[in-house]
Amino acid sequence: MESGTTNKYKYIETIKYAHFLPENLNIEGIINPEIRYRNIYEVVVYNTILNLNGNFDSPNFDEFKIKEENILWEDAFVSLGMSDLRGVQENVSLKWGQNNLSFNPGNIINDVISNGMSTKVPINISDKKVNFSLNLNINGSSNLNFVPLGKVSIVKIKSKWKTPSFDGAFLPDNRNVGDNGFVAKWEVLQLNRAFPQSFIGSIKGIDESSFGVNLKVPIDEYQKSMRSAKYAVIFISLTFLIFFFVQILNNVQIHPIQYLIVGLALCVFYTLLISISEHLKFDIAYLISSISIISMITLYAKSIFKNKILTLVLCFILAFIYIFIYIIIQMEDYSLLIGSIGLFTILGAVMYLSRKIDWYSVKTNESTLKEE
C-alpha cells in the first residue's frame, strides 16, 4: 500500500527467472593428455571433445503459480556453465530440436552460473519434450569436472592416462583402469543431489555436487626430490651410525668436528640433487649427486680410518643406502611397505652388531667387548 494514500495500491513490474534443468543429460568424451615440463615441475594438460545430449520437458509453471500471460516465452535461453572459457577451441553450436543455434560468451543472468555461455532458444508450448545436443572442443589441465544437472545424468569418459584419481561428490559406478588407460562411467539421479529440478532465482549446492577425474602424475621430478629430502634423517643417522660403530669396534678416534663435516657433506647431497635435476632428469641427477657424495665421504673416511678394508666397507654400505632410498623413491604403492621392511632389517643388523658391546664401559679412547 502506498504511503500517505487511502486504500490505493501501487503495482511494480519485476522480471524473475525460472530455471528448468534437463530431464536427461548424457556426456561422453575422450581425454587426450600430454605432460608439459618446466624445470623439475610437471603438469598434465589435455584436449577433449565432449558430446552433450539429452532433452528438456516442456516448462511447467504451475508449481510456481505463475499465469501463462505473465510468461515471456520469447526470452527463454539455455546456459552452459564453464569455469574457464579460454579453453574453448572451436565455436559452440546448439542443436535445439530442429534448430541450430550459436552460443554467445557470457550469461544473461548469474543466478546459477557465474561463468559460461548462453543462447536464446525458441519454445513451443505444444512440444512435450525437446531434444538438444552439442559438441565441446576444450583444452584444460589436471582435472575435468561435471555437475549432474539432469534428472538422470550419465557421464562416460575414456583416456589413455594410466593413473587417474576420481574425486568429487560422486565416484564412478563403473571404472576400469589398466595399462591402456581408463574408462569411467557415472550415473547420478536427481535424488542423489542437493538441489531441485526447477526453481526461481538463485540456489545453493550446485557446485558442491560436482564430480570428475584428476589426471594425477604418479611421482614427478619435484615429488621425487621432496621424497628424497624426507629421508634425510635416515641418510644422516645411518652414516653417523656406521662411523660410530667403526669408532667403538675398531678403536678409531673420531672427533665431533669430523662428524659435523660428514653431516654437512650429506646435506650438500640434497642441494646438488635439486639443482642438477632442474637441468637434467632426476635419475641422472640422483646418480651424479650420490656418486659425488659417496666419493667425498669415502676419501675423507680413508684419512680417518687409515684402513682400506674399513673404508671399502663404508663405501659399499653408503652405496647400498643410496640405492635403497632410490628404489623407495621410485615406488608409489609399495614405498611404505618396502621402506618399513628395509628399516626393520637395518635395525636388526644394528642390534646384532652391538649385542656384545658393554655400553657402560665405553670410553673416549677405547671400547670393551663383553665376553659371551
Q: What are the pLDDT digits (tens) for 25-45? A: 999 999 999 888 765 567 789
Question: Of 180-189, 229-238, 258-267, 297-306, which gets the smallest average pLDDT?
Answer: 229-238
Region for residue 65 given its phi and psi (left: phi exceeds 0; alpha: psi -120 to 50; beta: otherwise): left
d(CA 18, CA 199) in angstroms, rounded, equals: 6
What mean pLDDT, rounded, does the chain reach? Answer: 83
Q: Among 216, 249, 278, which residue terminates a domain?
A: 216
On whether both 289 and 203 belong to a single domain, the answer is no
On whether both 173 and 51 belong to a single domain, the answer is yes
**10 located within any domain:** no
> Is the predicted pLDDT of residue 145 greater than 70, yes or no?
yes
80: number of Cβ within 10 Å: 16
> Is the predicted pLDDT of residue 225 greater than 70, yes or no?
no
pTM, full prediction = 0.65
d(CA 158, CA 27) in angstroms, rounded, equals: 11
SS3 at position 5: coil
> Is the predicted pLDDT of residue 171 greater than 80, yes or no?
yes
d(CA 260, CA 254) in angstroms, rounded, equals: 11
Band (pLDDT 50/70/90 cuts) for residue 48 is very high
Number of structural domains, the chain? 2
**87 located within any domain:** yes
Give the mean model confidence (pLDDT) for residues 62-81: 88
Least Cα distance to 275 among 40, 99, 89 occurs for 40
On whether both 152 and 133 belong to a single domain, the answer is yes
Q: Please, are residues 327 and 219 in contact by the beta-carbon 8 Å criterion?
A: no
> Is the predicted pLDDT of residue 306 greater than 70, yes or no?
yes
> Is the predicted pLDDT of residue 205 greater than 80, yes or no?
no
Joined together, the cell numbers standing for residue 300 give: 675423507
On whether both 330 and 188 belong to a single domain, the answer is no
Band (pLDDT 50/70/90 cuts) for residue 50 is very high
On whether both 355 and 272 belong to a single domain, the answer is yes
**Can you tell me which residue has the cell 684402513?**
307
For residue 364, what pLDDT is reported?
45
**369 located within any domain:** no
Q: Please, are residues 153 and 28 in contact by the beta-carbon 8 Å criterion?
A: no
218: number of Cβ within 10 Å: 11
Residues of the chain with pLDDT > 70, as a percent, come to 87
**1 located within any domain:** no
> Is the predicted pLDDT of residue 318 greater than 90, yes or no?
no
Band (pLDDT 50/70/90 cuts) for residue 303 is confident
**8 located within any domain:** no
On whether both 321 and 343 belong to a single domain, the answer is yes
Residues of the chain with pLDDT > 90, as a percent, come to 27
On whether both 39 and 115 belong to a single domain, the answer is yes
Q: Identify the bridge partners of residue 131 per DSSP, sorted by sequence position.
A: 55
**9 located within any domain:** no
On whether both 207 and 265 belong to a single domain, the answer is no
Does 124 or 356 have the greater pLDDT score? Answer: 124
Give the mean model confidence (pLDDT) for residues 206-227: 77
Q: Three-class SS string for 285-341?
A: HHHHHHHHHHHHHHHHHHHHHCCHHHHHHHHHHHHHHHHHHHHHHHCCCCHHHHHHH
For residue 237, what pLDDT is reported?
80
On whether both 58 and 179 belong to a single domain, the answer is yes
For residue 69, what pLDDT is reported?
85
On whether both 206 and 289 belong to a single domain, the answer is no
Give the mean model confidence (pLDDT) for residues 353-357: 70
274: number of Cβ within 10 Å: 20
Distance, C-alpha 217 to centroid of its chain: 7
> Is the predicted pLDDT of residue 183 greater than 90, yes or no?
yes
Backbone torsions φ then ψ of 121, nearest 5 degrees: -130, 145
**7 located within any domain:** no
On whether both 208 and 235 belong to a single domain, the answer is no
Distance, C-alpha 171 to centroid of its chain: 15
Q: Among 168, 193, 216, which residue terminates a domain?
A: 216
For residue 372, what pLDDT is reported?
43
Q: Among 162, 189, 216, which residue terminates a domain?
A: 216
On whether both 152 and 248 belong to a single domain, the answer is no
For residue 313, what pLDDT is reported?
84
Range of the domain at 328: 222-361
CATH of the domain at 100: 2.60.40
**5 located within any domain:** no
